Structure formats: structure tokens, C-alpha cells
Amino acid sequence: MTFKAILSAVACCLLLAAAPLARAQGGASSTATGISRLMNPSLSLNALLLGQVSRDIPTKAANQVDLQELEAQFAAVVDPFWTARVIVAMHPEPGADGIVLEVEKAMAEYRNAPRGFGLRVGKDHLDFGKHNPLHTHALPFVYAPLGITAFLGDEVMAATGVEVAWNAPLPWWAELKIYATNAAAEVLDPESRDLAYGARLSNLWDTSDYSTLELGFSGLTGPGAARADLPAGRWNMYGADLTWKWVSASRTGGPAVNFTNEVLLPDPEFNLGDPLGFYSHLQYRFARQWWLGLGASVARDALNEDGATGESPLHTLRQVKANVTLTPSEFSAIRFEVHYDEEKDGDFRDLGAYVQVNFTMGSHPAHSY
């Protein structure tokens, strides 16, 4: 067992022990003990279990049942000035021995910024595009779309820094976020002393009382990840996303539609090919507890994982996927999904099937719209 795995296990035990310890204290006065549960943060645990089989990839990683992710979340008002949220995620790392513990979020938000302004400091998902801010258990499919992962990596882009937000006083909802972070996000160079800078502008219109149209633009620049086969340089990326949502007002749990489209335009300084990532996701609630999902994704001129060992360091990947999700309550779900991935003009193709179980314990904050 590695040191990381031991550390993870100890951390898990501490997290899980916190709740019963707090409960045992009951209403006892903290004056004598100096210990009180009254100010404890709200705590939630989310678990994702995943079973998968692949027709074309024989590895264990593609044919197994395992924990996909365990997420512990703490949220509290720190004092009159700050609200904070911490998320610790644990997941098996392919090729690693044991479970990796990762601080996905450790962020404080200033409570008293002037009207319309917001200030956040700490580590968080970068506000780039529509998909990157999502937590794993909030993804509409088992994995992030290929058009995203091919350029942003398998993990979300998360980094430590500061973000200023501003609600622009326009006739529609318009929110501008500008941030500066370290370069710890997966596609950047964590060894670099340079910072990454990014911005996102979200615009949302009510297309009816029960439907909205959101149009977002994102930009990010930072020191590129060091790869021996590539020249060093700054890594720039632009993105746009368009989302239409509709929910039936007439019936609780009635029909609903989420239609999300996002395009990424990586523009690295070293300029290889004409890269572009795209996905389109359609989710439809066809019965009170049931969702149907359809997705398509493209990654054009993405870098081969093997670098320049092949004939070309670039390839184009395509993906289609479909799922059905049963949500017996807001706190549990089971999902059945199939993917078909292929490399254009190449040998790689894969048909995979997945079963994912998702459950949440405790007080988990509602997800963003």
C-alpha cells in the first residue's frame, strides 16, 4: 500500500468519524468542553460506482467494477465576511496503486462585496465553458465528452487563484468572471511560475416562463504543459457554449429538456494542426424518474497520447453515446449507458457499456442551473 493510499484511508476515516462524533455531543454546552457541533459545516458524501465492459479494449481498466469517485463536501459560513466550501475527492488512479486523494475545491467567497460584484479565492474548477465547472456526479454522462477530454485532460481543470465576478447591468442576465490562477490545471504546466488568466461571459435569456437560452464565451491562457515532443509555449484556448433548457410547469417531475452544445478552440503557441473540440448533449425527462440522454462529440487534431511516436502526433476522434437514468429520488440514481468511439482514418474504435450508481448522503448543496 502506498503512502498516498494510507493517507487517503486515514482522511476517509477522519471525515466519516466527524459526523457521529458531532452527533454524540448532542446539545451539550461547549463552554466546559470547548467542543460544539453547532458551528460544524454541513457535510455530504457522494459515491459513484461504475461497472464497464468494452468490446474492443481488453485492459482491466476498461472491463471492471470499481469506485469511480467518492466526494466529501464541507460548506459553511466562516464568519461575517466569508463563506467557504471544500471538496475532497477520492478516486482510483489508472496505473496507480490504490486511491488518490485530491482537493478538488477549497474556496472562500467574500460575502460583503458591493452589489453586483463577487470575489472568490482558493482552489476551484476554472470557470471555462459549460462542462468544466461540473462535478463528476453532476455530469450528464458517465464521462466527460471526448471533445473536452482530448484537450483539457481526463480531469477537470482546477487551480488556485482569485476570481472576480460582476453582474453586468444589462436587460438580460449577464455575468462576467475574470480570474488569475496558478498553472496547476491538467493541461497547463504545474512547474511554471507563470500564472494562467481566464475569463467567462455568460448571457441568459428567458425564452418563455419555463425555458431559457444561455450563450457563453470563455477564454484562457497559461503556460503550456511540458512535453518532450512539443515545443514549449503559451497555451491559449477559446470556447463558446449554447444551452437551451425547458421544464414543464404543469406537473411535478414532468417533461424537461436540456440541450447543451459547446465548442473549444485550442490555440497553442506552437500551433499544431487545426484543433477543435465539440460536443452536443440532449437530455430529456420522459417520465417522473427517468431521463434519456443522447450525446455526440468530436475532437479534431487532438494530440496523440503517445506523442510523436506514431506517423502523426495528431488525430481526430469521434464519439456518440446514449443513456437512460433512473432517479428514484434527488439523492440516488442508476444509469445505463453505451459509447461508441472511433478514430477517423485510424484503427482505433471502441464500443463500451456502463452501469453507474450514484448516491449522496447528508446535506449536499443544490447544483447550479
Partner 1 sequence: MKRTMNRVILPAVVLMLAVLAAAPVLAAVQVVATLPDLGSVVRYVGGDDVALQVLCPGEMDPHYLPAKPSLARKLAKADLLIYNGLELEVGWLPQLINKARNPDIRPGSRGAVDCSAAIDDLLEVPGANVDRSEGDVHPLGNPHYTLDPRRMVKVAKYVAERLARIDPGHGQAYRERADIFAREVAARLPEWESVTATARQDPIIIYHRNWAYLVDWLQLSVVGEIEHRPGIAPSPRHVEEVIVAGRDLGHLLVLAASWDHRHVAEEVAERAGGVLVVVPAQSGGKGGPADYFSLIDTICRDLAAGARKAEE
For position 249 contacting partner 1 by CB under 8 A, the verdict is yes
Query: Cα(329)–Cα(349) distance, rounded to whole angstroms?
Result: 36
Short-list 88, 128, 129, CA closest to 107:
88
User: Least Å distance between CB 73 and partner 1?
Assistant: 14
Binning the chain into helix, strand and coil, the percentages to the nearest 5 are 10, 55, 35
Query: Cα(251)–Cα(309) distance, rounded to whole angstroms?
Result: 56
For position 329 contacting partner 1 by CB under 8 A, the verdict is yes
For position 4 contacting partner 1 by CB under 8 A, the verdict is no
Pair type for strands 211-223 and 234-247: antiparallel
For position 251 contacting partner 1 by CB under 8 A, the verdict is yes
For position 219 contacting partner 1 by CB under 8 A, the verdict is no
For position 328 contacting partner 1 by CB under 8 A, the verdict is yes
Yes or no: say if 245 and 212 are a contact pair by the CB < 8 Å rule: yes
For position 167 contacting partner 1 by CB under 8 A, the verdict is yes
User: Least Å distance between CB 359 and partner 1?
Assistant: 11
For position 289 contacting partner 1 by CB under 8 A, the verdict is yes
Per-residue contact flags (x/-) with partner 1 for residues 330 to 349, judged by CB under 8 A: xx------------------
Task: With CB under 8 A as the rule, give the number of residues binding partner 1.
Answer: 39
Phi, psi of 324 (to 5 degrees): -130, 130
* Closer Cβ to partner 1, 244 or 340, answer by number: 244
Yes or no: say if 77 and 87 are a contact pair by the CB < 8 Å rule: no
For position 178 contacting partner 1 by CB under 8 A, the verdict is no
User: Least Å distance between CB 291 and partner 1?
Assistant: 14
From 45-53, 56-64, 138-146, 323-331, span contacting partner 1 (CB under 8 A):
323-331
Q: Where are the beta strands (DSSP E) in 157-247?
A: 158-167, 173-181, 196-208, 211-223, 234-247
From 92-100, 115-123, 218-226, 334-342, span contacting partner 1 (CB under 8 A):
115-123
User: Least Å distance between CB 174 and partner 1?
Assistant: 9
The three cell numbers of residue 80 are: 461575517
Out of 212, 236, 280, 304, which residue is the one contacting partner 1 (CB under 8 A)?
212
From 90-98, 126-134, 137-145, 329-337, span contacting partner 1 (CB under 8 A):
329-337
User: Least Å distance between CB 261 and partner 1?
Assistant: 18
* Closer Cβ to partner 1, 94 or 328, answer by number: 328
Query: Cα(365)–Cα(331) distance, rounded to whole angstroms?
Result: 11
Yes or no: say if 239 and 217 are a contact pair by the CB < 8 Å rule: yes
* DSSP summary character for residue 136: G
* Closer Cβ to partner 1, 30 or 289, answer by number: 289
For position 208 contacting partner 1 by CB under 8 A, the verdict is no
Yes or no: say if 269 and 234 are a contact pair by the CB < 8 Å rule: yes
Yes or no: say if 124 and 138 are a contact pair by the CB < 8 Å rule: no
Return all residues near 234 (Cβ < 8 A) that are at least 6 apart.
Answer: 221, 222, 223, 224, 268, 269
The three cell numbers of residue 157 are: 481543470
Of residues 58-87, those binding partner 1 (CB under 8 A): none
Yes or no: say if 333 and 104 are a contact pair by the CB < 8 Å rule: no
CA-to-CA separations, 276 to 26, 282, 297, 302, in angstroms, rounded: 56, 20, 11, 8
Out of 61, 117, 154, 312, which residue is the one contacting partner 1 (CB under 8 A)?
117
Residues that bind partner 1 (CB under 8 A): 109, 111-118, 165, 167, 172-173, 175, 202, 204-206, 209-210, 212, 245, 247, 249-254, 288-289, 328-331, 365-366, 368-369
